[in-house]
A and B are shown apart, each in its own frame.
Chain A
Amino acid sequence: MKNQKIFILSGLIPALLLVLAFTYYPFLRGIIMAFQDYKLFDLRHVRFVGFDNFKAAFHDPKFLVALKNSGYWVFFSLIFQFVLGLSLALLLKKPFRGRGIFQGFAFYSWALSGFLIGMIWKWMFNSQIGVINDLLLRVGIIHERIGFLSNPKWAMTSVIIANVWYGIAFFAIMLLAALQSVPSELYEAADMDGATGIRKLWNVTLPYILPTIIATTLLRAIWIFNDPTIIYGLTNGGPAGSTHILSSLMLDKIIYAGDYGAASAIGVIMIVLLLLYTIFFLTVTKAEKVGDF
């Protein structure tokens, strides 16, 4: 028994210590910074300022735009990633010749960095020599070039398109695995009842994979909300702050402005929103076991 205790401790301590010291400690310190005037270029005047950073944020038009954008960003990225990912998973469920190779080409975006994907799409969206403008002109859908990233009317849509492209594979991979775990007896029973394809999908497949759908969507929404890399690579929030989401604005304030207090305040607001979202989501879906993994 004593041996076992030693084994448990020695197995856990390295992981726990590192995570506590270099994830949770700086994280908590970041939360404290949200209540401080903390600027990298003025470290001698660090002091507590109560809720000033939060007040400043809500008076900052850039923040309000980023708040609204975060909503669009998560909602539309998620909907399109999910619908396309699910369709793809359903079509890939039955084996066909070349499926393995197809999956290789269909899922590789997973292995790329959001930053590089942002860069590649920035090149394709270029308003002068971008290939997307060229293609749309050739086909005749548009008659003059569109400033996909330079026109604030288009910029957010363009950024979301790139993000959808990036994330379909994630949903497809997760949902495909779930689909393949549906026991075939369920389909046999449905066949005996004379169910058609769509009915089987609606009555057998979807209910069976619902827990995976719920868990995947919940997690994915949070990751999309938190991840600024694609936006950083594509527009870095521009033009004029019109494509910042909360996380990219926070990053901007850390890397470029060195205003740690303001950045942390945005971070704390993000945590509050995430909490509200998670509670809302779990209540609506009544999924008690989702958080289990």
Chain B
Amino acid sequence: MTGLQKTLKVVFLGLYLLVMVFPLYWIVITSLKPQKDIFSFPLRYWPQKFTMDNYVNIFKISKFHIYIGNSLIVAIIAALIVLVISVLSAYVLARFKFRGHSQIMLAFFLTQMLPGFIALAPLYLMMSKMDLLNTRFSLVLMYTVGLIPFSTIMLRGFFQRIPSSLEEAAMIDGCSRWSALLRVIIPVMLPGIASTFIFAFVQNWNELFLAVMFIDNDALKTLPVAMNSFILKFDVDWGAMSAGAVLSIIPTIVIFAFAQRFIVEGLTQGAEKG
């Protein structure tokens, strides 16, 4: 690589990094500015004074701790259930050929391509009929269902990379298929399972529209729903809103920082192999 090429590369990567990081930087800085500095000119790129007022404020004007709790409960439980169900379906679809096999794969795959919001109104009516509106259960149920197809496709990719001789050996030694799956295959699959779980958690944590449709009881709102009503109510209070945004973002960023390699590997492997 010539000197010029190298310089160009560094410039491009540097600019890209700047553009990617700046929005995050800006929302964090905004959340740490005193109210009057947020709206004063000239804009300060490094605040004169840092304050936690916006964070204190958001817990005062709303039940933010409750929203965080609701989001955690719903996101974690749904991600765990997805994992159990999808590990089974993915394993079956990876290891056996049977009538209807490709139709099932197609049915799962299609859910990723169709405009899913067509189902939103009928789902609302279904939940209403089953008396599940304003319950956390409705969200756990729908988040689970929503992620089964993608998780199955992704986990199937991981199963296919594990030679089936592994569990056959265990079965010859007298294991049933269930215990071979549980004791031999799943331990080998842990990176794949971890990345599926994280993917599911992040999706659930971020989900907005189902939650907006199903929940309007303040005590049951998840973070995105709370942020949504927040925007409608306090449109100009950017201090509190940026504090809320930062709090909503932190868990996913932390997870991403720790598990980036897993996730990237998981997503691409699952997609490539399938």
Taking beta carbons and an 8 Å cutoff, which residues of A are in contact with B? 3-4, 7-8, 10-12, 14-16, 18-19, 22-27, 29-31, 33, 38, 40, 84, 87-88, 91, 100, 102-117, 119-121, 123-124, 129, 131, 134, 165, 169, 173-174, 177-178, 181, 212, 215, 219, 222, 225-226, 228-229, 232, 247, 250-251, 254-255, 260, 263-264, 267-268, 270-271, 274, 278, 291-293
Contact = CB atoms under 8 A, between A and B. Distances in A.
B86 A91 contact: no
A111 B121 contact: no
Nearest to B212: A255
Interface string B214-253: 0000000000100110010000001001100100110011
A8 B206 contact: no
Contact of B39 (A116, A129, A264, A291): A129
Contacts of B65: none
Given A4-B96, A8-B92, A102-B17, A116 B253 contact: no
Given A111-B252, A116-B249, A7 B92 contact: yes
B46 interface: no
Given A26-B126, A103-B260, A226-B116, A119 B227 contact: yes
A114 B260 CA distance: 19
Q: Is chain B's binding surface mostly helix, strand, loop or mixed?
A: helix
Interface of B: 9, 12-13, 16-17, 19-21, 23-24, 26-27, 30, 38-39, 41-43, 85-86, 88-89, 91-93, 96, 98, 104, 107-109, 111-123, 126, 141-142, 144-146, 148-149, 152-153, 177-178, 202, 205-209, 212-213, 224, 227-228, 231, 238, 241-242, 245, 248-249, 252-253, 255-257, 260-261, 263-264, 267-269, 271-274
A15 B208 CA distance: 23
Query: What 8 pairs between A and B have smallest CB-CB spacing?
Result: A293-B274, A113-B206, A267-B118, A177-B268, A30-B118, A11-B92, A26-B122, A15-B89
Nearest to A292: B274
Given A113-B224, A119-B245, A108 B256 contact: yes
A22 B89 contact: no
Contacts of A11: 88-89, 91-92
Nearest to A180: B268
Which of A4, A119, A232 has most chain B Cβ within 10 Å?
Answer: A119
B209 A8 contact: no
Q: Is chain A's binding surface mostly helix, strand, loop or mixed?
A: helix
A178 to B, nearest CB: 8
15 contacts: A8-B92, A11-B91, A12-B88, A19-B107, A22-B123, A24-B107, A87-B12, A102-B17, A112-B206, A115-B206, A169-B20, A173-B264, A177-B264, A250-B118, A278-B113
A254 B16 contact: no
A255 B213 contact: yes
Contacts of A291: 109
A123 B241 CA distance: 10
Contact of A30 (B13, B119, B178, B272): B119
Which of B30, B227, B231, B260 has most chain A Cβ within 10 Å?
Answer: B260
Given A115-B208, A264-B118, A120 B12 contact: no
Given A11-B88, A33-B122, A115 B115 contact: no
Nearest to A162: B23
A273 B195 CA distance: 33
A18 B144 contact: yes
Which of B20, B108, B202 has most chain A Cβ within 10 Å?
Answer: B20
Contacts of B42: 134
Contact of B38 (A27, A129, A270): A129
Nearest to B86: A15
A29 B122 contact: yes
A23 B146 contact: yes
A290 to B, nearest CB: 11
Contacts of B245: 116, 119-120
Nearest to A174: B268
B20 A106 contact: yes
Nearest to A173: B264
A26 B96 contact: no
Contacts of B88: 10-12, 14-15
Which of B21, B178, B208, B268 has most chain A Cβ within 10 Å?
Answer: B268
B121 A12 contact: no
A165 B23 contact: yes
A165 B15 CA distance: 13
B145 A23 contact: yes
A271 B24 CA distance: 35
Given A113-B208, A165-B23, 16 more contacts: A7-B92, A15-B86, A22-B142, A26-B126, A27-B116, A91-B9, A103-B260, A105-B20, A113-B224, A114-B206, A115-B208, A232-B208, A250-B117, A263-B118, A268-B118, A293-B271
B102 to A, nearest CB: 10
Contacts of B224: 113, 115-116
